[in-house]
Amino acid sequence: MPKIGKHSATKIVRHKIYGTPHTVYDIKTSPRKGTPRAVAYAFLKGIAKDIRSNLKDFRFDKVIRSPLGTHVLFQQHHRGRKISGAWVKVDLDDSNRVYHFTNSSVPVDLLPRSEKAAATVVLNKNDALEKALTALRADKRRLRGEVSAELVYFPVGKVPKPAWKLLVPLSSPPHDWRIYIDAVNGALLHKEDMLKMVSAKGLVFDPNPVVTLNDTKLRDSKTVPDAAYHQVELRDVSSSGFLDGPFVSTAATKNRARSSSRKFLFRRTQPAFKEVMVYFHIDRTQRYIQSLGFDNVNRRPIRVNVAGLKDDNSFYSPVTKSLAFGTGGVDDAEDAEIILHEYGHSVQDAQVPGFGASDEAGAMGEGFGDYLAASFFADTKPSRMRLCVGEWDATAYSRDDPPALRRLDSTKRYPRDIVQEVHADGEIWSACLWQIREALGRSRTDTLVLAHHFLIHRAASFENAAEALIAADRQMNAGANQATIREIFVRRGILQPAKRKRGGYDPFARNNRRPEAGHA
């Protein structure tokens, strides 16, 4: 049976870095008289050699009572400074028997030995704060409270280093950062957000009432039936009560909603409804992008103004990296497909900074935004609306049935139908992407489309991007789909014809959709 000091135990788990006892289970000690603090200290004295520590380095912190008994905490110090994260906790039952022990202290032989090494500090508090704000990509204007700064030791690998520990409260969106800056060279050693994010409830259109109700006669001036609303979970909403999260913040919206109960159950007649729409749909889309394997594509809290202009228009700003939605006609932020179209510009700008520096690149930006919105919702829509984008928004200006901002089944060819207007020319690109989706399936195509952005430049042409899509398939799928993709772009006039093998898959044949792997 393993032993800790002179006491037997059921199991000892050793520290992965130091090799010392980290967690000790079912320790067998006798009942002791005295305070839990005194009993715990006596236990530490008896196991000091086991944990390779000097008892004088431990300073009592506090005693916590629980249904399990009493828990006594000590923090390790060195030369008058705390060693961050270096704690021992002694757990006692109601008879003062030690039954459990946890240790994350640094062995004394690994601590800086010389006085010079222990005292070397170059950065002062203000320098450390500047380094921390730089690491957080923030400035003092975003501070929402006082910054706490303390000179400590912070373990890096096995050896603790002198470091500034800073607690930095930020706003827009809110974060409570715990950050460690090397006190000698100013390097970032560690950062973590301590602000707890919680789930909330909200009402949304998903994607819009025309689709949900399958009612193309619905108009902005009419009351939208309750059946058009969906109650959803708003994930990781800040505990501040505002709609701030890891991937979207409505901080740019004036007089924005706040709910201490975390219930955002608004109707479209209330301005806050649009905030819930943008929060839910952008957050869900970003999580979908991550699920495809893109862990750092626009993975940030994008700032949104849900009433940024009075026109029937919306935009993404590459300068401020934010979104603004218009309130002319049907409010744009009431239609999830308009939200996703604009978010698509932000995604593309994150992958290719400054994308859209040529007419064709600008057209592809519009085409990608339409594709992203259409692809996300198509499989849950009525068949006659599957190829449409923005059915609810379009009720203000379209006489088609179903109404649509644009469709993804354009028959336009390149270069014959180019008119030098990005939205019109973008229909060529979105139609190509949609044909690829019909041939390869949703997730495979969405993945390729996102991936190929990394292979193009900001002034790319249709031809550049088509070849990049093929290159992405070659890299990710060993070229399994390149013949299909190339044929689509050839038929559309973007790429030159190539010799074709007999009996190959024809992406233009009717009722010949290639099923996606794992789906019927």
List own/partner pairs for 510-517 with CB under 8 A and 24 or more apart: 513/438, 513/439, 514/439, 514/440, 514/441, 514/484, 515/441, 516/440, 516/441, 516/442, 516/443, 516/444, 517/441, 517/444
CATH 3.10.450.40 intervals, the chain: 116-193
Helix axes 359-377, 442-452, angle to 10 degrees: 150
- For residue 174, name the pLDDT band (cuts at 50, 70, 90): confident
Q: Which of 83, 78, 76, 95 is nearest to 30 (CA)?
A: 95
What is the third-level CATH fold of 198-351? Elastase; domain 1 (3.10.170)
Over 50: is that where the pLDDT of 518 sits? Answer: no
What's the residue count for the chain? 520
> Running DSSP on this structure, what letter comes out for residue 221?
T
| pLDDT tens digits along 155-169 | 998 889 999 999 999
Q: Which CATH number fits domain 3-110: 3.40.50.10310, 3.20.19.10, 3.90.660.10, 3.30.310.160?
A: 3.30.310.160
Burial of 67 (0-12, 13-18, 19+ CB in 10 A): exposed
- For residue 416, name the pLDDT band (cuts at 50, 70, 90): very high
The two three-digit tokens of residue 501, written as one number: 């093998």
CB 257 within 8 A of CB 269: no
Torsion angle of the four alpha carbons 16, 19, 24, 30, in this order, in degrees rounded to the nearest 10: -170
From CA 469, how far away is CA 479, in angstroms rounded?
Answer: 10
CB 403 within 8 A of CB 499: no
Residue 506 CA: distances (Å) to CA of 121, 149, 332, 462, 509: 69, 65, 38, 22, 6
- The architecture in CATH of the region 359-491 reads Orthogonal Bundle (1.10)
Cβ-count burial 187-215 (b if 16+ within 10 Å, e if not)? eebebebeeebeebbbbbbbbbbbbbbeb
State the amino acid at position 46 in one-letter form: G
Residue 79: partners with Cβ closer than 8 Å, 6 or more residues away: 112, 115, 118, 119
Torsion angle of the four alpha carbons 112, 115, 118, 123, in this order, in degrees rounded to the nearest 10: -150
Helix axes 422-440, 462-477, angle to 10 degrees: 20
The two three-digit tokens of residue 5, written as one number: 């000091």
From CA 373, how far away is CA 138, in angstroms rounded?
Answer: 32
Q: Which of 301, 349, 13, 280 is nearest to 142 (CA)?
A: 301
**CA-angle at 47, arms to 41 and 49, nearest 5°:** 125
From CA 411, how far away is CA 432, in angstroms rounded?
Answer: 10
| pLDDT tens digits along 479-509 | 999 999 999 999 999 999 866 544 444 444 4
Please give the average per-residue pLDDT across 458-482, as a whole number: 93
**Which three-class secondary structure string do you get for 313-340?**
CEEEECCCCEEEEECCCCCHHHCHHHHH
Handedness of CA 432, 438, 442, 444 (dihedral sign): negative
Over 60: is that where the pLDDT of 109 sits? Answer: yes
State the amino acid at position 329 in one-letter form: G
List own/partner pairs for 271-276 with CB under 8 A and 24 or more apart: 271/306, 271/307, 273/203, 273/334, 274/306, 274/307, 274/325, 274/331, 274/333, 274/334, 275/243, 275/250, 275/304, 275/306, 275/333, 276/202, 276/203, 276/204, 276/234, 276/243
pLDDT at 157: 87
The two three-digit tokens of residue 340, written as one number: 């996703």
Sort strands 98-103 and 314-317 into parallel, antiparallel or unpaired.
unpaired
From CA 175, how far away is CA 179, in angstroms rounded?
Answer: 12
CATH dotted code for 116-193: 3.10.450.40
Over 60: is that where the pLDDT of 119 sits? Answer: no
The residue assigned the tokens 């899509």 is 469
pLDDT at 508: 43
How far from the centroid of its chain's Cα atoms is residue 306's Cα?
A: 21
CATH 3.30.310.160 intervals, the chain: 3-110
Report field, pTM of the whole predicted structure over 0.75: no
pLDDT at 503: 47
From CA 367, how far away is CA 508, in angstroms rounded?
Answer: 20
414 or 455: which leads in pLDDT: 414
Q: What is the mean pLDDT of the chain?
A: 91
Terminal CA-CA length for the chain: 57
pLDDT at 116: 52
Residue 430 CA: distances (Å) to CA of 314, 417, 498: 19, 14, 23
From CA 43, how far away is CA 58, in angstroms rounded?
Answer: 13
SS3 98: strand
Over 60: is that where the pLDDT of 180 sits? Answer: yes
Over 70: is that where the pLDDT of 517 sits? Answer: no
> Running DSSP on this structure, what letter comes out for residue 160?
E
CB 30 within 8 A of CB 36: no
Torsion angle of the four alpha carbons 383, 387, 393, 398, in this order, in degrees rounded to the nearest 10: -100
pLDDT at 18: 94
| pLDDT tens digits along 31-49 | 999 999 999 999 999 999 9
SS3 149: strand
- Full DSSP string of 38-74: HHHHHHHHHHTTTTT--GGGEEEEEEEEETTEEEEEE
The two three-digit tokens of residue 32, written as one number: 């002791």
From CA 413, how far away is CA 432, in angstroms rounded?
Answer: 10
Q: Which of 133, 148, 139 is nearest to 186 (CA)?
A: 133
